[in-house]
């Protein structure tokens, strides 16, 4: 990240103010490379050209999605001439401009047109409040703590009539990684579908009478706002680290369980998956953990937790910290995950894969899913990677919001109907 340094004099004292320069991705390409059996070659190219990737470090016999600035594309192209590749975004800046062509949201109009477009952060908070105001007997707004920059971590709590705080709890997180905008919209689609369907849909009414739902569509508000004002591809929160000019801790590498397990996170403050200086040193992690632990310790108990991410089209189970350790009820977990994947596919034919996190995508230490499974003791703990598999990646066109929500909701209904 480049910074603009301004000097100002206040009452005779000169202070340096560091202002982040707005990222400009005009002319950038995003290229999917087939790594082949020698991952070191691709790793060296990425390091030598100072490139970033969207899906982690290159692994042998896999794909890696690489962001290439215009002034480095010729060298990148010649360096990778012997590798199979495809273009995901010919001009990333243009793709972002199209995605951020927000529709105007009129306060008070919490209807299905919300899902025709992405929206600014303030409108998301307004939408949740409008949804609550439309269904006051079945919902309320909850805040569970503040972000680094003081923004409330806001969610919506909804339930059957007269059943608030009496049924097993279900908790969903969205936008833990700031650039994963589709997760904000899909988790909001769940809330919208449950509340609007309660009166007329027997299946939905039965589920709302059976469970208490807490959905936090933007678990990382500072990072999300930053993606809308400065850098669309920002991932972490906006926390500083002593001794480094790089900002941000990865909230999903910061949970106080298997936090320091080698290979599942980075100790470099400049890395996308920086785990923080200490376990749970991010205020967002603390707030989220305190909330789920409080719910789990209550008479409600915590039935189900799902952390929604993008992209890759996966529905995964614990564990992330190890590729060999599985849960005691792993057979049940895998059966449920396969059922979710089948229910998603039945809607539009979208193919998801399932399995434990580590062998299915990559090793992840200090994750919410592992923490919820082994510390909080939620009965079930999953994570999802939503659309797509790499055509658009993080910059998913707005016309895919509604189908993403519809298919994910089908998978969720299957899951909720099949839990013990």
pLDDT for 254-287, tens place per residue?
999 999 999 999 999 999 999 999 999 999 999 9
Residue owning tokens 């409080």: 294
User: Once rounded to an integer, what is the mean pLDDT over residues 17-28?
Assistant: 76
The pLDDT score that the predictor gives to residue 21 is: 65
Per the structure block, which two tokens stand in for 270?
Answer: 């400049």
pLDDT of residue 22: 87
Among the residue ranges 5-9, 119-123, 402-406, the one predicted with the least confidence is 5-9
| Separation CA 196–CA 135 (nearest Å) | 8
DSSP 232: T
User: What is the rounded average pLDDT of the residues 165-177?
Assistant: 97
d(CA 320, CA 340): 19
Per-residue pLDDT of 286-305, as tens digits, reads 999 999 999 999 999 999 99
**Predicted confidence band of residue 20 (pLDDT cuts 50, 70, 90):** low
Looking at 180, 188, 284, 385, which residue is catalytic? 385
- The HSE-up count of residue 319 (CA atoms within 13 Å, CB side) is 21
Give the count of beta carbons closer than 10 Å to the beta carbon of residue 325.
Answer: 13
Q: Is 331 exposed, middle or buried (0-12, 13-18, 19+ CB in 10 A)?
A: exposed
Identify the band that residue 163 occupies on the pLDDT scale cut at 50, 70 and 90: confident
Q: Is 385 a catalytic residue?
A: yes
Q: Which of 347, 315, 311, 358 is nearest to 333 (CA)?
A: 315
φ, ψ for residue 379 (rounded to 5)? Answer: -65, -35
Strand partners, 171: 214, 305
Write the DSSP symbol of residue 324.
S
Of 11-25, 51-65, 313-327, 351-365, the range with the lowest mean pLDDT is: 11-25
């Amino acid at each position: 990240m480049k910074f603009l340094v301004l000097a100002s004099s206040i009452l005779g004292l000169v202070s340096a103010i560091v202002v982040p320069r707005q990222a400009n991705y005009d002319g950038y390409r995003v290229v999917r490379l087939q790594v082949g059996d020698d991952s070191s070659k691709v790793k060296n190219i990425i390091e030598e050209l100072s490139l970033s990737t969207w899906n982690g470090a290159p692994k042998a016999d896999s794909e890696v999605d690489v962001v290439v600035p215009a002034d480095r594309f010729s060298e990148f192209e010649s360096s990778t001439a012997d590798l199979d590749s495809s273009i995901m975004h010919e001009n990333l800046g243009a793709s972002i401009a199209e995605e951020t062509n927000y529709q105007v949201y009129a306060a008070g109009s919490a209807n299905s047109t919300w899902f025709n477009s992405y929206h600014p952060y303030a409108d998301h908070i307004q939408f949740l409040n409008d949804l609550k105001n439309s269904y006051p007997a079945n919902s309320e707004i909850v805040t569970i703590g503040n972000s680094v920059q003081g923004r409330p971590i806001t969610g919506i709590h909804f339930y059957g009539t007269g059943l608030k705080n009496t049924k097993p709890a279900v908790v969903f997180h969205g936008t833990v990684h700031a650039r994963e905008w589709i997760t904000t919209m899909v988790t909001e689609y769940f809330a919208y579908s449950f509340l609007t369907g309660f009166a007329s849909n027997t299946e939905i009414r039965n589920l709302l009478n059976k469970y208490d739902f807490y959905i936090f569509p933007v678990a990382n508000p500072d990072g999300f706002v930053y993606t809308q004002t400065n850098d669309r591809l920002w991932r972490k929160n906006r926390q500083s680290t002593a001794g480094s000019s790089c900002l941000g801790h990865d909230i999903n590498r910061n949970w106080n369980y298997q936090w320091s397990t080698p290979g599942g996170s980075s100790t470099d403050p400049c890395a996308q998956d920086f785990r923080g200086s200490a376990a749970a040193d991010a205020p967002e992690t603390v707030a989220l953990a305190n909330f789920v632990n409080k719910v789990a310790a209550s008479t409600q108990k915590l039935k189900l937790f799902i952390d929604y991410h993008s992209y890759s089209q996966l529905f995964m189970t614990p564990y992330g910290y190890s590729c060999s350790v599985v849960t005691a009820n792993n057979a049940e977990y895998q059966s449920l995950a396969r059922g979710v994947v089948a229910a998603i596919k039945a809607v539009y034919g979208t193919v998801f894969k399932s399995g434990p996190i580590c062998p299915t995508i990559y090793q992840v230490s200090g994750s919410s899913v592992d923490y919820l499974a082994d510390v909080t003791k939620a009965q079930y703990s999953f994570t999802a990677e939503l659309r797509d598999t790499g055509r658009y990646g993080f910059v998913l066109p707005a016309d895919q919001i509604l189908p993403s929500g519809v298919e994910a909701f089908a998978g969720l209904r299957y899951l909720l109907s099949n839990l013990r």
